[in-house]
């Protein structure tokens, strides 16, 4: 962490604690002009407002938390790059990749620095890894007949996929609908597994420089005509001009515009 961020975090942290102390002292000072325990001169429905100080137990507890915060920040990390006098560190504090995280956990165990999160990961791995390994040996077409496997898959989908594809798998804006039979890269079990394993990267380039504004408009008209739709005006002429321009698109999308699953187009 750079010196700038260390100073920035330290100033905000210590300033907040000092601010709490000042606020407490300000509230303990009587600025009302009325002696403590006396009426403030306000009464409603038989209820009289009394100038009572903050409860002593509450004040002592507040002071104690302020003092404790300074001890904590001195012993543990909390002020930027300052690691504290005890030198405590998370077992995966400096990792940047999953591989580094796995290695950091191994190193931490060897040094006796295992933390609760690591224990939970170990518990989950011990419990679920055999289940997933068994599922991995079964063809997808057979696995869909296993109700327990489908339930596990549903939970994994909700945790990892629904943010883009929606909880109903119909796709959020800009993301594919997984409930129809229209697949960019193929909808077989093997192809879906390949997509999940390796991911997909779209390769559609920008065509504005090559076609220009008018060329884009003509191509749009032709693409719309492939599905029986039309632009608002002068559609036929634009679509006819766009047909020739679509030849540049047909290399990926096919002459009929129905796409090429090998390319995800």
The 10s digit of each residue's pLDDT in 33-73 is 888 888 888 888 888 888 888 889 999 999 999 999 999 99
Tell me the per-residue pLDDT of 219-264, one tens digit each, with 9 for 90 and over: 888 888 887 777 667 777 887 888 888 888 877 888 887 777 777 7
Residue 5 main-chain phi, psi, to 5 deg: -70, -30
What's the pTM value of the predicted model, to 2 decimals? 0.45
The structural domains of the chain, ordered by start, are: 3-75 (no CATH), 98-133 (no CATH), 138-198 (1.10.760.10), 208-253 (no CATH)
CB neighbours of 34 closer than 8 A, spacing ≥ 6?
40, 41, 51
List the alpha helices (DSSP H) in 146-188: 147-160, 162-165
């Amino acid at each position: 962490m750079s010196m700038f961020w260390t100073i920035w975090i330290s100033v905000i942290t210590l300033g907040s604690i000092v601010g709490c102390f000042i606020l407490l002292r300000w509230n303990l000072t009587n600025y009302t002009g009325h002696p403590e325990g006396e009426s403030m001169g306000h009464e409603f429905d038989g209820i009289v407002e009394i100038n009572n100080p903050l409860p002593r137990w509450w004040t002592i507890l507040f002071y104690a938390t302020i003092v404790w915060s300074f001890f904590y920040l001195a012993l543990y990390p909390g002020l930027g790059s300052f690691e504290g006098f005890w030198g405590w560190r998370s077992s995966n504090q400096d990792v940047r990749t999953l591989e580094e995280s796995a290695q950091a956990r191994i190193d931490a165990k060897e040094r006796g620095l295992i933390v609760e999160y690591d224990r939970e990961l170990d518990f989950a791995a011990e419990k679920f890894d055999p289940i997933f390994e068994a599922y991995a040996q079964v063809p997808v077409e057979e696995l869909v007949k296993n109700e327990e496997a489908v339930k596990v898959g549903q939970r994994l989908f909700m945790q990892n996929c629904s943010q883009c594809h929606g909880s109903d798998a119909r796709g959020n804006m800009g993301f594919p609908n997984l409930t129809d039979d229209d697949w960019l890269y193929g909808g077989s079990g093997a192809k879906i597994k390949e997509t999940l394993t390796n991911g997909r990267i779209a390769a559609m380039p920008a065509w504005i420089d090559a076609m220009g504004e008018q060329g884009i408009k003509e191509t749009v008209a032709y693409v719309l005509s492939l599905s029986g739709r039309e632009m608002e005006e002068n559609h036929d002429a634009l679509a006819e001009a766009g047909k020739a321009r679509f030849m540049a698109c047909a290399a990926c999308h096919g002459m009929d515009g129905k796409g090429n699953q090998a390319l995800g187009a």
